[in-house]
Chains A and B, each alone.
Chain A
Amino acid sequence: MRAPSLRRRLVGQLIVLSAGLAIALYVAVRLGAERASEATLDGILGAATSTIAEELRSVEGGAELDLSPGTFSMLAAMGEERIFHRIDINGLPVTGYADLPLPPRAPTALQPVFYDAEYRDADLRLVAVARSLMIENRAAPVLVIVGQTREGQRAIALGLANRAAALGLAVFLFAIPFSLLSARTLLRPIGRLAEAVGRRGGHDLRPVRHPAPAELAPLVDQLNAFIARLRQTLAQTETFIAEAAHHIRTPLATLRSEAEMALRQAGDEPTRTRLRGMIRATEESARSANQLLDHATVLFRADQKAQDRVDLGAMARALADRFRPTADLKDMEIRLSLPEERLETSGDAVLIEAALRNLIDNALKYSPADSTVEISLVDDLGYARIEVTDRGRGLGGETQAALAQRFRRGPNVGGVVGSGLGLTIVSETATAMGGRFALAEREEGGTCATLWFPRSR
């Protein structure tokens, strides 16, 4: 299971945060607006009701009231509210709506009671005010109740809250692209670092020097420490191989010269045959050790990126001369075809030489006696092309890519000894020098190996 994406987590958290803010804004504005307007309207309602209570006068035989239209108009002004009133004297309703709900507790003369009730399909805010009136020489308790609907207030509070909610929603909607953008900006250095590391060649083990934000510095440090360990391990392995090859090669050479001397001195045929076999085995072992050493060299030197100027024609000629004695043993001819001009490439001369040597060695090794190996060098559209052709047994149906793998040999090697490292060395060298390597079977039999190196100017 993969850990959740950083970007998704960041965006999610930002969105949740802004949604929370939008909701909080809506609730706060709605509650605030309702509470503020309720307090104001309660004040007006209380004052109006007290005024009505004060307008009650005692007259002969009862009480008299002159309700002022202005008071009612004022109560109804905001949002055109509905108004209900009720006046009780001695606990009995005398005017107004006799069934208007009574307050939950009795108000005192100084303390009006505010309450909510439902009446005639309307939610009312009511206030009850108490006073007493002298009626027929006795103090009579008077209760004045006035109720109003608060639809206008609620509509205004709701409108305010809706506007706040719209603002919150706008913030929320803005937060989505903004958080995507900021997530991308924040995560961009990680992508750049990954890209920089990914662009390196397979053998590039230099430490990462890409600029990274402070938060990524520990990652880069750990990566560099890891690369350093890897490099050291690789270097040790290659040194070990090279040392091992070298240590094997020297005793093998001694063994071979001893065996050759024994062969010259030996008289009986069975011993001579055995000694010849021994010499051949020693030869193959030495070749394998050489190739192992070559391969280790290729791996090591490819990293060094040496830029020597290499005269390919001179190198081909020198190699042909060096292989001629071997070829003579099999009555084979090495034919050189070189251009007039100098064809140069820039790169590691040791590697290029190792690649060419392996190709020529292969051609000689897998060709029948009394045949010809041709080495040609031509200019091919800015590249120097070297072809080594033989009349040998071909590739045996294997592809070039398969043969270029380490320790992989074709099915038709027959009794010829080999390590399976030769073509690997060639292929890796061509890649390291910025060139190319191709291997093809010739129609008339045999193999054609082609190497391209960029020409230097």
Chain B
Amino acid sequence: MRYALVSALALILSVAQAWGFETEAERHFGPEGAPQIRVLATTDIAFFAPVAEAFLAENPGLGIQYLQASSQSVSQAVDAEGAAFDLVISTAMDLQMKLANDGFAGALPPDIVQRLPGWARWRDRLVSIALEPVVLLIAEAALNGQPPPRSRRDLIALLRDHPETFAGRIGTYDPRISGAGYLFLTQDARMSDSIWRLAEVMGRLDARLYCCSGEVIAGLISGDLVVGYNVLGSYAAANLPEGSGVLVVPMEDFTITLQRTALIPVNAPDPEGGAALLRFILSDAGQDIQAQVTGGSVMRPESFASQPWLMPIRLDPGLLSTLDSMTRDRFLAEWTAALDQP
């Protein structure tokens, strides 16, 4: 008994040591000893679990090893470490595009690629599995009965007019450590210059910077924060409890819409397994499960017509330009300068 416990502990330690990159969580689905499909993703395990369970219900002989990591770690794992995974899912479209551009993504089966519209895939290497609007979260209490801001201009005016309410209580991504945060900011900057004025205002109000959407949402729930800027809509919908008093506001000047993308690395030990799981995620059943979990963040092109402010981030090598180290340094320097008011 004791021996078994020790060996189990050793196994856990050895698994933990096997990764040369930072992981956030890990979980196995399916029966012990079944062949494993190894998934590396930025998605919270809680979001992925229903999909994994539905997939395994259809494929009883299989198991899934799921590893959650930050988008930077995911990219680094595939790129620098050459870690062996069968499916890599990330919200950082630019990093995923770089992996595909640099030749780390293998060719996907034609039946998966051909079903998707042109905007939801890049060549046969990278496919979009979900559309996720990036939203503003604001506590109802902070509005004092006023209507919520509908655009960045409204938001800037609101923050400027009520510094006493918002000082120290604004949360957003730190683009220096979060790949997704950097992507959202560069896309904001590409759309409009208002982001620089917003950065100045948030800097004056001592905005707090976070690594992930989850922490911003937690801050709003606890009441530490009253505004969350550039938060993944799906996380907000899933994590905000009923009656929390936090509003999810899509910005009507433009709402950056992220494509959650998936690729199968060239060195995948079981690319067939990865493709099978990807096929399930893209199927109607898989999309419905995602919709239930995340509140509608699925691949429904109709939503672009009904909500014209949704601006999908184009899945093409244009994303690579902001990853250029000089461009990134200049952008972050400018953003830091705008945020850090003397």
Contact = CB atoms under 8 A, between A and B. Distances in A.
Interface of A: 63-73, 75-77, 80-85, 87, 94-96, 120-122
Contacts of A73: 314, 316-318
6 closest Cβ pairs, A-B complex: A73-B318, A69-B318, A67-B321, A76-B317, A65-B326, A95-B326
B321 A71 contact: yes
Given A65-B330, A85-B324, A95-B324, 5 more contacts: A66-B331, A67-B321, A73-B314, A76-B316, A80-B123
Contact of B102 (A71, A85, A120): A120
Nearest to B266: A121
Nearest to B324: A67
Given A67-B327, A76-B316, A82 B101 contact: yes
A69 B318 CA distance: 4
13 contacts: A65-B324, A65-B327, A67-B324, A69-B190, A69-B319, A72-B319, A73-B316, A82-B103, A82-B317, A83-B317, A85-B324, A95-B325, A121-B103
B89 to A, nearest CB: 21
Interface in B304-342: 314, 316-322, 324-327, 330-331
A67 B317 contact: no
B103 A122 contact: yes
Interface in B188-203: 190
Contacts of A63: 326
Nearest to B331: A66
Contacts of B331: 66
B29 interface: no
Contacts of B318: 69-70, 72-73, 76
A72 B327 contact: no
Contacts of A95: 324-327
Contacts of B326: 63-65, 67, 87, 94-95
B122 interface: yes
A415 B31 CA distance: 123
A413 to B, nearest CB: 98
Contacts of B327: 65-67, 95
A83 B330 contact: no
Contacts of A67: 321-322, 324, 326-327
Classify the secondary structure of B's interface with A.
Answer: helix
A96 B322 CA distance: 11
Contacts of A96: 324-325
B29 to A, nearest CB: 34
Contacts of B190: 69
A71 B322 CA distance: 11
B70 to A, nearest CB: 23
Nearest to B186: A69
A239 B316 CA distance: 105
B321 A72 contact: yes
A121 B103 CA distance: 8
Given A69-B318, A120-B102, A80 B122 contact: yes
A83 B319 CA distance: 11
B100 to A, nearest CB: 8
Contacts of A69: 190, 318-319, 321-322
Contacts of A68: 321
Contacts of B101: 82-84
A66 B330 CA distance: 7
Contacts of A120: 102-103
Which of B190, B317, B319, B324 gathers the greatest number of chain A CB atoms within 10 Å? B317
Given A82-B101, A121-B103, A77 B324 contact: no
A67 B189 CA distance: 13
A94 to B, nearest CB: 6
A75 B317 contact: yes
Contacts of B317: 72-73, 75-76, 81-83
A140 B306 CA distance: 53
A94 B321 CA distance: 15
Contacts of A84: 101
A76 B317 CA distance: 6
A223 to B, nearest CB: 70
A122 B322 CA distance: 23
Interface in B59-107: 101-103
Which of B122, B190, B326, B327 gathers the greatest number of chain A CB atoms within 10 Å? B326
Nearest to B94: A69
A68 to B, nearest CB: 6
Interface string B122-135: 11000000000000
A83 B94 CA distance: 13
Contacts of A94: 325-326
A75 B326 CA distance: 20
Given A83-B101, A122-B103, A72 B330 contact: no
Nearest to B330: A64
Nearest to B122: A80
Contacts of A75: 317
B320 A72 contact: yes
A75 B321 CA distance: 11
Contacts of B314: 73
A66 B190 CA distance: 12
Nearest to B322: A69
Nearest to A73: B318
Nearest to A80: B123
A137 B175 CA distance: 33
Nearest to B333: A64
